């Protein structure tokens, strides 16, 4: 019997979809009567991967069989909109309201996160959306329950380079706040929406737990910064620190005989957002550890710091490539919920280039932006020596 022939439906389907050979794809999906359950599961996976055309074709085949399912309605409404078939678009939309309403809340979130969020940018890029944005809103409004009231799915301005930062996904922070993330395809900066879930007091606290690991890390940083100051800077001059450690690093540098001031990073961020360049005392070097992921406006903070020094030393873990989904990378720190900015190597290059800075790095987490002509090899060598 045909159904018992040895072939793997999903393996074949995804292979043909990826090969972009429409002819073979159609032949395969129309050639046999594949099970409805398999086809629905395939549509869900295709939508999750942003493969709208193939999902749309499967949706239309199931529609001919008289099937009704939310996954199909999505494929038809999204496919109809993107490929300019208003009849299929309406077919999909017609059933969507009732199907969304029938979902329990947790299933609505799942459908939204898995199948709708990955398509939002494709919807906005469709020519139909450019002529009539209301057509995109008609679809997205069904998922209002999965986002915050008044949430805007359109692109934002990138805080690093000013290009378009597109809506990318929602992640669940601290087990209860659903927060939107926007990604800039130009500089690869990833930022959250405005941090409504962080209260002012909590921001001000910023005290990390003093663990044995943290102590070792502070000791290494102190050793490295001491080396840097003694060899490449004026070790007698005053430095400025805005690390997120309640002033511990600055205190330990003072105990080691260096001149260090400390200011809470949130105070620095607030001052930077008021656009103040903050004249006054000049500093030999600025250190800013564990803090760049907490700055919602990294460009403005950097400008403010550079108005008073010519070098900023900092650490930041770099985003993996390709961009991981929320559950795929622990660097998002969803449980902690304090991190609002994420950087790729290209983001740091863009930040440095726009300000004519040299970017020195140990190839990992540690970076120095500086106007001075310093040797990258010396920097790297010292970083390696203390770690």
Interface residues toward Zn ion, by CB under 5 A: 158, 160-161, 163, 184, 186-187, 189
Closest to Zn ion by CB, 61 or 184: 184
- For the CB of residue 349, give the shortest distance to Zn ion in the complex, in Å: 11
157 phi and psi, to 5 degrees? Answer: -90, 130
Closest to Zn ion by CB, 36 or 186: 186
DSSP for 326-353 reads: GGG-GGG-TTT----EEB-HHHHHHHHH
Alpha-carbon distance 89 to 86, whole Å?
5
Q: Residue 190 in contact with residue 182, Cβ under 8 Å? A: yes
- For the CB of residue 124, give the shortest distance to Zn ion in the complex, in Å: 17
- For the CB of residue 164, give the shortest distance to Zn ion in the complex, in Å: 8
- For the CB of residue 292, give the shortest distance to Zn ion in the complex, in Å: 15
Residue in 217, 222, 156 with CA at minimum distance from that of residue 191: 156
Closest to Zn ion by CB, 100 or 187: 187
Q: What's the full length of the chain, in residues? A: 387
Radius of gyration, CA atoms only, the chain: 26
Closest to Zn ion by CB, 71 or 344: 344
The encoded tokens of residue 8 equal 């793997």
Closest to Zn ion by CB, 221 or 346: 346
SS3 of 216-263: HHHHHHHHHHHHHHHHHCCCCCEEEECCCCCCHHHHHHHHCCCEEEEC
Which helix H or strand E contains 156, and what residues bound it?
strand 156-157
Which helix H or strand E contains 59, and what residues bound it?
helix 52-64
- For the CB of residue 161, give the shortest distance to Zn ion in the complex, in Å: 3
- For the CB of residue 78, give the shortest distance to Zn ion in the complex, in Å: 27
Pairing of strands 190-192, 238-241: unpaired
Q: How far does CA 189 lie from the centroid of its chain? A: 7
296 phi and psi, to 5 degrees? Answer: -75, -20
Closest to Zn ion by CB, 117 or 184: 184
- For the CB of residue 160, give the shortest distance to Zn ion in the complex, in Å: 5
Coil, helix or strand at residue 101: helix
- For the CB of residue 258, give the shortest distance to Zn ion in the complex, in Å: 35
Alpha-carbon distance 332 to 58, whole Å?
35
Closest to Zn ion by CB, 160 or 179: 160
Q: How far does CA 290 lie from the centroid of its chain? A: 18
Alpha-carbon distance 316 to 344, whole Å?
10
- For the CB of residue 190, give the shortest distance to Zn ion in the complex, in Å: 10
Torsion of CA 200, 203, 204, 208, to 10 degrees: 150
Pairing of strands 259-262, 366-370: unpaired
- For the CB of residue 272, give the shortest distance to Zn ion in the complex, in Å: 18
Closest to Zn ion by CB, 59 or 191: 191
Closest to Zn ion by CB, 164 or 222: 164
Closest to Zn ion by CB, 160 or 382: 160
């Amino acid at each position: 019997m045909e159904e018992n022939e040895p072939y793997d439906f999903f393996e074949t389907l995804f292979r043909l979809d990826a090969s972009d050979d429409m002819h073979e794809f159609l032949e395969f999906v129309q050639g046999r009567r594949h099970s409805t359950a398999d086809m629905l599961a395939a549509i869900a996976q295709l939508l999750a991967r942003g493969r709208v055309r193939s999902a749309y074709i499967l949706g239309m085949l199931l529609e001919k069989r008289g099937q009704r399912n939310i996954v199909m309605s999505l494929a038809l409404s999204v496919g109809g909109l993107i490929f300019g078939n208003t009849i299929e678009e309406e077919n999909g939309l017609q059933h969507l309201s009732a199907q969304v309403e029938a979902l329990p809340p947790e299933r609505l979130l799942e459908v939204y996160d898995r199948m709708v969020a990955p398509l939002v940018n494709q919807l906005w890029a469709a020519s139909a959306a450019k002529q009539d944005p209301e057509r995109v809103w008609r679809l997205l409004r069904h998922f209002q329950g999965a986002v915050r009231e008044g949430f805007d799915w359109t692109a934002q301005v990138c805080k690093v380079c000013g290009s378009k930062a597109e809506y990318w996904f929602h992640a669940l922070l601290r087990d209860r706040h659903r927060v939107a993330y926007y990604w800039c395809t130009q500089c690869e900066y990833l930022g959250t929406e405005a941090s409504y879930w962080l209260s002012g007091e909590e921001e001000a606290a910023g005290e990390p737990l003093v663990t044995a690991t943290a102590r070792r890390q502070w000791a290494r940083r102190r050793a490295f910064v001491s080396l840097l100051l003694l060899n490449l800077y004026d070790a007698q001059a005053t430095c400025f620190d805005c690390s997120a450690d309640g002033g511990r690093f600055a205190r330990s540098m003072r105990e080691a005989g260096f001149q260090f001031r400390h200011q809470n990073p949130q105070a620095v961020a607030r001052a930077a957002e008021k656009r103040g360049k903050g004249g006054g005392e000049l500093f030999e070097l600025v250190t800013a550890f564990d803090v760049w992921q907490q700055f919602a406006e990294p460009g403005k903070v950097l400008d403010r710091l550079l108005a008073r020094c010519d070098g900023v030393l900092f650490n930041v873990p770099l985003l993996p490539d390709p961009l991981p989904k929320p559950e795929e990378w622990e660097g998002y720190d969803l449980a902690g919920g304090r991190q609002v900015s994420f950087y790729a190597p290209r983001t740091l290059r863009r930040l440095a280039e726009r300000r004519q800075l040299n970017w020195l790095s140990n190839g990992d987490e540690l970076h120095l932006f500086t106007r001075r002509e310093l040797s990258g090899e010396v920097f790297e060598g010292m970083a390696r020596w203390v770690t």
